[in-house]
Amino acid sequence: MDDDLPTDFQVIVVGTGMVESIVAAACSRIRKNVLHMDSSDHYGGLWASYNFDGLQKFIKEVNSDPKKQVQVYNLSEKWYIEKESPELENKDEENKTDDSKSEQVKKVWSQASFATEYRKFNIDMTPKLLFSRGPLVELLISSNIARYAEFRCVTRVLTWLDDRLMPVPCSRADVFATEAVSIVEKRMLMKMLTSIVGYNEEEMNNEFKDWESKTFKEYLEHKGLTPNLIHYVLYAIAGGTNAMPCLEGVKECKKFLMSLGRYGNTPFLWPMYGSGELPQCFCRLCAVFGGVYCLNRPIDKVATKTIDEGKNMITIDSKSKTLNCEHLVIGINECPKELLSTESVESCDISKAVFITNGSIMKSDKEPLTLLRFPPLAEGDNTVTVLEVGPATGSCPKGLFVVYFITNKVKDAETDLKPYAERIFDMSGGDQTEATEKPKCLWSLFCNLKDTSAPVASVAAGVHVCSGPDAGLDFDRAVLQVHSTPPQRLLYVQSDSSGYSVTLCSAT
């Protein structure tokens, strides 16, 4: 069936990660003839989400053939539950005799029950949130791709303060309702937030003009905020550390504040079935406008030559076939080394962990969807971002939660993140039915990911390299990479030397 694949395209996109997929959709939308391929049998590349079975295959692949997934290392999976549920029979009888109460009896999970319900899991390699007024939401709406996807609002933002979890007041109403903040503090806070909303990068107003070389914390202290308020604003809202430069903190805060009130009580949205759905949505738009899709199609060799009038001709050998195109857009994880420029880029690898638990980190009436930002707990640590998603997001079966931890790597994923996980989970592997303060951790996965988020140049004309995921909370870097102008380097800018221009908007 693959043999009837056409061979000549204007644009070939290799890899179905977020950036590649946005570019593919953009090119197809302006009626370029596009082929979009991926070497693996599923969409998403480093941005994919997996069901439990797919995840097991991924883990096996990384462990058995590290060369195949060079971006992932230090991968370690651990179970905290038995292989089989020992009292499975008892359990069944209980349920039969006492149907009405069976809801309250906590299910005893085993590795076998995870395997049976593997399809109900959607576990993300790159979990990310969307700011309600961020560039990705705007792009989804303007390109009409929004109608392929569904979202859930993040219901609460938490922080870690005085050795416990604390909800962060997000909206104006929250601020006034909270008892954690005094009236005087409230007034100070509102005044400061108002001036942050007024911040404008282009015309530096007086408020911030002397703060360029100072930290955000110094600014907050200068505004007379109490330590509690500084904690909320600096760590929970701006997601910063003590060293965060002032203007960066102001920008982050402004982004947070501007996204409030559009869809929910917090500024954030989470895609149903996980972040891995979004590249697929862009791919569908590309296909709808004629893009050809071919998964499971590794490439062997790329050759480029310049034909007359500076036009490029790129040939790609793939499965004993030669494909031709004018532009090759390629994900960094699929790109042959020799095509990459050797100039070194600044990078900081990512430490990640995924936990599956039997309850939320903080009880709530309705199923919560939580963003928690930990301030650094030890000298030299980075801030840790935690996302907790439940069954209503299509991430896991009823009764479970999937919790993601992300930080910039210091030592390795387990050393970096375990101390944080232990604060909010019971990782002892004990009786699941026992009532405990913290939810039980049933399964964990730690891994490090090479930082491939910096833009990389290619050495060949007509070849455009898409970077991989960053450690950030949102998709902004991926979106801006496609929509940025040359100083931030390539991809699909307004117009490049070939007169190529892309604007992915207004589906008319």
Partner 1 sequence: MATNRSGTAQRPNGAPQTKVCQFKLVLLGESAVGKSSLVLRFVKGQFHEYQESTIGAAFLTQTVCLDDTTVKFEIWDTAGQERYHSLAPMYYRGAQAAIVVYDITNQDTFGRAKNWVKELQRQASPSIVIALAGNKSDLAAKRMVEFEEAQAYADENGLLFMETSAKTAMNVNDIFLAIANKLPKSESAGGAAAGGRRLADGDAPRSSSCCK
> Can you spell out the DSSP letters for 262-289?
SSSSSSEEEETT-TTHHHHHHHHHHHHT
Interaction mask 336-375, partner 1, x per CB under 8 A: ----------------------------------------
| DSSP designation for 95 | H
150 binds partner 1 (CB under 8 A): yes
Interaction mask 280-309, partner 1, x per CB under 8 A: xx-xxx-xxxx-xxxxxx------------
Residue pair 281/145 in contact by the 8 Å Cβ criterion: yes
Angle at 55 between CA 395 and CA 69, to 5 degrees: 130
For partner 1, the binding residues in 21-60 under the rule CB under 8 A are 43
DSSP 3-state of 464: strand
Distance CA 427, CA 355 (A): 10
Write the CB contacts of 254 (distance below 8 Å, at least 6 apart in sequence): 196, 197, 199
Residue of 9, 52, 263, 355 interacting with partner 1 (CB under 8 A): 263
1 binds partner 1 (CB under 8 A): yes
Provide, rounded to whole angstroms, the least separation between the CB of residue 139 and partner 1: 11
Give the distance from CA 45 to its chain's centroid. Answer: 13
DSSP 3-state of 77: strand
393 binds partner 1 (CB under 8 A): yes
Stretch that binds partner 1, among 176-184, 241-249, 267-275, 497-505 (CB under 8 A): 267-275
Interaction mask 110-149, partner 1, x per CB under 8 A: ---------x-----------------x--xxx-x-xxxx
404 binds partner 1 (CB under 8 A): no
258 binds partner 1 (CB under 8 A): no
151 binds partner 1 (CB under 8 A): yes
Provide, rounded to whole angstroms, the least separation between the CB of residue 264 and partner 1: 8
Stretch that binds partner 1, among 274-282, 307-315, 440-448, 464-472 (CB under 8 A): 274-282
> Can you spell out the DSSP letters for 346-389?
----EEEEEEEESS-SS--SSPP-EEEEEPP-STT---EEEEEE
Task: Give the DSSP H or E segment for 208.
Answer: helix 206-209
Site residues (CB under 8 A) for partner 1?
Answer: 1-2, 5, 43, 119, 137, 140-142, 144, 146-153, 262-263, 269, 272-273, 277, 280-281, 283-285, 287-290, 292-297, 393-394, 507
